[in-house]
A and B are shown apart, each in its own frame.
Chain A
Amino acid sequence: MTTGLTEERATRAPAPPPRRTRHPRMSRGTEARGAWTLMAPYLVLLLIGGIIPVGYAVKTSLEKAPTPLDPSSGFGGIDSFKTVVTDYRFVDTFTNVFATLIVWLPIMMIGIVGLALLIHASPGRFGSTMRFVYYIPGALAGIANLVLWVYLLNPSQSPIEGFWHALGIETIKQAVATPNHLPFILTAMMFFQGVGSWIIVVNGGLNGISEEVLEAASLDGANAWQLAWHVKLPIIRPWLGYAALMNLAYGFQLFLEPQLLDQVASNALQDQWTPTQLGYAFAFSNYNFPAAAAMSLILLVITLAIGLLIVFRSGLFGEEEH
């Protein structure tokens, strides 16, 4: 995924005369001191934005939640984790995420691979224009994408009102809150918003395939299908693994879409449809901070496991020593 920049850069890099000799007075101590000085601003932000909050969440999760009857807090052991796991909504929220992922991931991956291969088979201006067009919805991230979808989902003024009427749907509440609709709507929303940037990532991998390989395959009589299936796909497998895992992790953080779709559907959805919404409710509806911390740690462990898998197994983050 770094090939694009690497190639660009390689041609523009200044080429100093190679001097292999080490400066005799250069000690590792000076080098390390310089490194820590340069790292300092980032390390401070890493502490504030990553390490301290996680540590504090661990501490909070082990506290006792104050109740009206017993307003004292104090060490509560794993009580808050029990509260979370035994909450009647806990299992449902994960079921909902899995239901969404089962619909979304295959469609997303087929879309990414299919469109990236089509673009790669279309060199020149047409291909790059299409790649840009597919990327445009990605610019409407977050809340903007949501408002756009409110426009599409509301049969009273939607440009696809015919589609909704054909399904017998007259209001946005029906469109969103009819049982089992939500995973499909979320899939459509996230596909629309996300497929373009993943096409660019996978396209970067495809562009790294050398001309010789493709020409050799063509000379051997491979047609476009065989070329895509037997030559291109195996080569870009690391990028596809990366895309699949990143999108999998993304599924566990779903918040904005279900939260606001509930709002436009007159609260007809479950208020806590995803795990992140449940954590938010613990913090901001129940003011049970230990439970909120426990919930976010559970999600942290899941996404951390996926993150480690990405870093160590995707094969994209090997150290490139030059």
Chain B
Amino acid sequence: MAQATVQARTGRSRRRGIENWSAGRLARVVTMLFVAAIFIFPIVGFIAMAFRSTEGVEAGTGGFLGLGDVSWENVRFSWSQVNGFGPDGGLFTKWMLNSLFVAGGGAILALVAALPAGYALARLRFRLRRAILLITLVTMVMPNTVLVIPLFLEVNAIGAVGELWPVAIIMGFFPFGVYLSYIHFMTTMPRELVEAARIDGLSEVAVFWRIGLPISKQAMVLVGFFAFVANWTNFFLPLALLSSNQDNNTLSIGIQQLIGASPLFNPTVAAGLDVKLYMPQLALATFLSMLPLLIVFLGAQKFLIRGETVGAVKG
């Protein structure tokens, strides 16, 4: 196996018949494919679930992972149930828009704050620089849920619980974005370049704006992408700050409500509802909630592949 590895590594991997594979290589490939299968099958089955009918699921038709049971008709029915939820229906659409507002607004704020801060930390000297860098690193590696109750108390003190804007502002605090920008300017913008720009008469802010920012497209995409994903999937912060106002829920806590209204888990509550939310409907709601993430992923893809090792630091 070591031999095969070295060969492939040096780019001379010749195609050989599988009968020539060593036992080690075979074991490695089989193990990796087996793990991949464990990861993929549940997801395929789950997506198929979004396209199935409750009757089909109950009867167990559809064969392997229920793939034989999928149809567009099922999706249309499930959508009418999912989006029919709420006193007048349409709550799901509202949650989607709320999520777009807080996650998008938070990501824009994170971008506006992170790039200049990362630049200043990387290339300028000022008092407290190391202290701010340390605070940024520590807050970056701490799970953000530990701050949710204190944040709730803060927002409660100004009487803004249930409003969307405080959530967007709090999501704008994204130390990981500052760290990414810091690394970005450390590695792309030599000190000499900054000094040359100063000699040309640019102010400190202008050096960042006219020279630093134009070479930062990748950092911008990475910060924006990771901020958006983190905000979109954030559950605890919206739960604490928004669940008191049903119109201002986000998708993550909205889906929790859908689960709570499912006859599968809560027959008493579900009996009083016009809509019936079984597993296909819950899967469809989840699937739809993932689509915006898929879209931003496809948009950011080529930048992610280049910077993926940095990107995964806070997965």
**Which stretch of B70-78, B82-90, B114-122 is in the interface?**
B114-122
B145, A253: Cβ atoms closer than 8 Å = yes
- A266 near B: Cβ within 8 Å? yes
Contacts of A311 in B (CB 8 A): 134, 137-138, 141
A32, B126: Cβ atoms closer than 8 Å = yes
In B1-53, the 8 Å CB interface with A consists of: 1-2, 5-6, 8-9, 13, 24, 28-29, 31-33, 35-36, 39-43, 45-46, 49
B259, A136: Cβ atoms closer than 8 Å = no
Contacts of A295 in B (CB 8 A): 149
Known: A9-B188, A39-B116, A222-B2. A4 touches B307 (CB 8 A): yes
Closest to A36 in B: B126
A82 to B148, CA, bound (A): 21
Known: A28-B125, A227-B2. A317 touches B137 (CB 8 A): yes
B147, A49: Cβ atoms closer than 8 Å = yes
What are the interface flags for B92-125 relative to A under an 8 Å C-beta threshold, 1 for contact and 0 otherwise?
A: 0000000000000000010011101101110011
In B263-296, the 8 Å CB interface with A consists of: 264-266, 279, 282-283, 285-286, 289-290, 293-294
- B57 near A: Cβ within 8 Å? yes
Most buried by B among A143, A311, A320: A143
A16, B154: Cβ atoms closer than 8 Å = no
- B124 touches which of A35, A172, A264 (Cβ 8 Å): A35
- B221 near A: Cβ within 8 Å? no
- B176 near A: Cβ within 8 Å? no
A151 to B60, CA, bound (A): 14
CB distance from B71 to the nearest CB of A (A): 17
A307 to B120, CA, bound (A): 23
- B125 touches which of A21, A32, A139, A152 (Cβ 8 Å): A32
Contacts of A140 in B (CB 8 A): 43, 290
Contacts of A227 in B (CB 8 A): 2
Judged by DSSP, the binding face of A is helix
- A166 near B: Cβ within 8 Å? no
Known: A197-B312, A322-B191. A249 touches B149 (CB 8 A): no
CB distance from A54 to the nearest CB of B (A): 6
- B286 touches which of A124, A143, A201 (Cβ 8 Å): A143
CB distance from B51 to the nearest CB of A (A): 13
- B164 near A: Cβ within 8 Å? no
Closest to A127 in B: B32
Cβ contacts A to B, 11 pairs, < 8 Å: A1-B312, A19-B196, A34-B204, A54-B150, A133-B40, A147-B286, A151-B42, A207-B309, A250-B143, A256-B235, A264-B264
Q: Lowest 9 A-B CB distances belong to which pairs?
A: A34-B204, A197-B315, A49-B173, A4-B309, A204-B309, A42-B117, A53-B150, A57-B150, A253-B143
- Which A residues form the contact surface with B (CB < 8 A)? 1-6, 8-10, 12-23, 26, 28, 30-39, 41-46, 48-50, 52-54, 56-57, 60, 115, 118-119, 121-124, 126, 130, 133-134, 136-144, 147-148, 150-152, 154, 156-157, 159, 172, 192, 194, 196-198, 200-201, 203-204, 207, 211, 214-215, 218, 222-224, 227, 245-246, 249-250, 252-253, 255-256, 260, 263-266, 276, 279-280, 283-284, 289, 292-293, 295-297, 299-300, 303-304, 306-308, 310-311, 317, 319-320, 322
Given contacts A139-B294, A147-B286, 18 further A-B contacts (CB under 8 A): A12-B188, A14-B193, A34-B205, A35-B120, A39-B117, A136-B40, A143-B289, A144-B233, A157-B57, A194-B315, A204-B308, A207-B309, A227-B2, A249-B142, A280-B240, A292-B149, A307-B141, A322-B191
